[in-house]
């Protein structure tokens, strides 16, 4: 099953050849798709579950905090382990761990646990505890993907394959919320559940568990030759420090990571989608599905284009401009009170974010040495998760202080300020051409 098996990877291919011709790359994309679909199904369901129980947007923000804190603690060690242990074995373990969270939450949503509790406290404790575990497991998913990415493809296909990977990733961000909210809606209307019932959530959690188990099969059957494991082990903290020093001494990589982190930290509005859908747009769970999937739909459209027409020249300018466009869309979303306009703005925000995702991923793959891909990927994951999960906590806290709309508009304005500051302080990133990293 692992490194001793036949190798599905291929030798360097003709320029312009599709990376999808590599069987191992296709299986890696299946792993990527299914893990993200599973996570997104659970994320959208947990958000709806918690908001149905509490009606408090701040509790939505606490979900982000519950996930990001254990992620921060585990991610540096996850990168070290991925660099020093068989990648696919760690991927299999991580996928099985990803299935545990929805399996834990099914009995809570179905009413088999705490059904007689006088308040929602015990249920919330278990929900937040399951999310803490998810944060620990997710620390391994990205490093496993990024290290295997470099194993299954020749270097000359990295830019095109990064676009394909972004399309798969964003496609999963579309499918996950649609599947999750669709399952809740169907179970609610076919099962005769009353308004405010959380019982239908159990069906959505079950689908999340199935997707995680399918990802386990995909990664277990992927065949490629992994880099030989060194018998000389650097002390773990020294090894983690080596990865950190590399990132902080590579201005282009550090600038791209920091730009994304601060932009999404202050401009993230998706975590408040349950509250917007229910209280401002009056669109219910189906409106939530549209809002959660619209950004990824936009990113898929951009990713498909970039897979055929990858950006090489003026990559830094495109990166800065895309993040600025993202901030403008977030401001518009905060001001909108119409479902179709809100969905359109989320779609456009995803298109701008899609450009950023592809460029940042390509920069990381081209600039990172093979022997530290796991550690650098973990550091990148810390930047990304800090922007998403801490952004969710920030958004929930600001919504409690300022109200939903004001919190989102303020975040979009701060995002524009981050872009201006980055353009001023990071001239290397501003002038970047990807050809310089080849």
Measured CA distances, 169 to 6, 38, 241, 271 (Å)? 27, 12, 29, 18
pLDDT, residue 7, reads 52
Helix (H) or strand (E) holding 4: none
pLDDT tens string 149-203 = 878 877 777 767 877 887 888 788 778 888 988 888 888 777 656 555 667 888 8
92: exposed, middle or buried (Cβ count in 10 Å: 0-12, 13-18, 19+)? buried
Distance CA 340, CA 273 (A): 14
pLDDT, residue 209, reads 95
pLDDT, residue 191, reads 66
Average pLDDT over residues 409-421: 87
151: exposed, middle or buried (Cβ count in 10 Å: 0-12, 13-18, 19+)? buried
Average pLDDT over residues 16-44: 86
Considering the chain, what is the average pLDDT of its residues?
80
pTM above the 0.75 mark? Answer: no
The values of phi and psi at residue 91, to 5°, are -65, -40
pLDDT, residue 62, reads 82
Distance CA 406, CA 254 (A): 31
pLDDT, residue 6, reads 45
The values of phi and psi at residue 116, to 5°, are -100, 5
Average pLDDT over residues 267-281: 78
pLDDT, residue 41, reads 93
Q: Which residue has the higher pLDDT, 11 or 17?
A: 17
> Cα dihedral angle (267, 272, 275, 277), rounded to 10 degrees?
80
Average pLDDT over residues 366-373: 73
pLDDT, residue 99, reads 95
What per-residue string of b and e applies to 195-221 under the rule 16 or more CB within 10 Å gives b?
eebbbbbbbbbbbbbbbbbbbbebbbb
pLDDT tens string 38-94 = 999 998 899 888 888 887 877 877 887 888 888 888 888 888 888 778 888 999 999
Distance CA 107, CA 123 (A): 10
- Asked if the model's pLDDT at residue 427 lies above 50, the reply is yes
**Which of 232, 236, 434, 149 is closest to 316 using CA atoms?**
434
Lowest average pLDDT, out of 203-212, 225-234, 326-335, goes to 225-234
Measured CA distances, 35 to 170, 213, 242, 318, 337 (Å)? 12, 9, 29, 29, 33
Q: Which residue has the higher pLDDT, 382 or 405?
A: 405
Measured CA distances, 427 to 223, 317, 367, 383 (Å)? 42, 10, 18, 21
Confirm if 327 and 263 have CB atoms less than 8 A apart: yes
The span from the first CA to the last CA of the chain, in angstroms, equals 33
């Amino acid at each position: 099953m692992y490194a001793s098996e036949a190798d599905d990877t291929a030798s360097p291919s003709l320029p312009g050849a599709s990376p999808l011709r590599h069987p191992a790359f296709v299986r890696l994309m299946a792993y990527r798709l299914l893990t993200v679909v599973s996570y997104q199904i659970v994320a959208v369901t947990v958000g709806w579950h918690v908001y149905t129980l509490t009606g408090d947007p701040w509790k939505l923000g606490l979900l982000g905090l519950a996930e990001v804190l254990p992620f921060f603690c585990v991610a540096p060690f996850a990168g070290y382990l991925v660099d020093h242990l068989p990648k696919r074995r760690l991927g299999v373990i991580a996928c099985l761990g990803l299935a545990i969270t929805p399996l834990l939450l099914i009995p809570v949503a179905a009413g088999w646990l705490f059904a007689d509790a006088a308040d929602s406290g015990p249920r919330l404790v278990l929900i937040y505890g399951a999310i803490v575990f998810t944060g620990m497991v997710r620390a391994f998913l990205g490093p496993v993907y990024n290290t295997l990415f470099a194993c299954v493809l020749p270097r000359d296909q990295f830019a095109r394959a990064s676009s394909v990977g972004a399309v798969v990733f964003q496609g999963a961000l579309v499918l996950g919320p649609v599947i999750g909210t669709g399952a809740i809606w169907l179970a609610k209307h076919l099962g005769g559940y009353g308004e405010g019932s959380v019982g239908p959530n159990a069906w959505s959690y079950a689908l999340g568990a199935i997707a995680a188990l399918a990802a386990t099969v995909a990664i277990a059957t992927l065949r490629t030759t992994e880099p030989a494991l060194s018998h000389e082990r650097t002390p773990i903290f020294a090894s983690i420090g080596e990865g950190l020093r590399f990132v902080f001494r590579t201005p282009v990589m550090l600038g791209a990571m920091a730009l994304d982190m601060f932009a999404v930290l202050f401009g993230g509005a998706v975590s408040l989608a349950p509250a917007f859908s229910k209280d401002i747009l009056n669109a219910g769970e189906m409106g939530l599905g549209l809002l959660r999937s619209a950004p990824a739909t936009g990113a898929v459209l951009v990713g498909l284009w970039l897979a055929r027409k990858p950006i090489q020249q003026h990559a830094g300018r495109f990166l800065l401009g895309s993040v600025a466009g993202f901030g403008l869309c977030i401001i518009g979303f905060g001001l909108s009170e119409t479902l179709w306009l809100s969905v359109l703005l989320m779609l456009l925000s995803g298109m701008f974010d899609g450009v950023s995702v592809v460029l940042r991923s390509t920069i990381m793959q081209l600039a990172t040495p093979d022997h530290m891909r796991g550690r650098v990927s973990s550091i990148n994951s810390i930047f990304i998760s800090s922007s998403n999960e801490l952004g969710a906590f920030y958004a929930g806290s600001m919504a409690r202080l300022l109200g939903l709309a004001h919190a989102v508009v303020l975040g979009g304005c701060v995002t524009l300020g981050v872009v201006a500051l980055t353009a001023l302080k990071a001239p290397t990133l501003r002038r970047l051409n990807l050809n310089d990293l080849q």
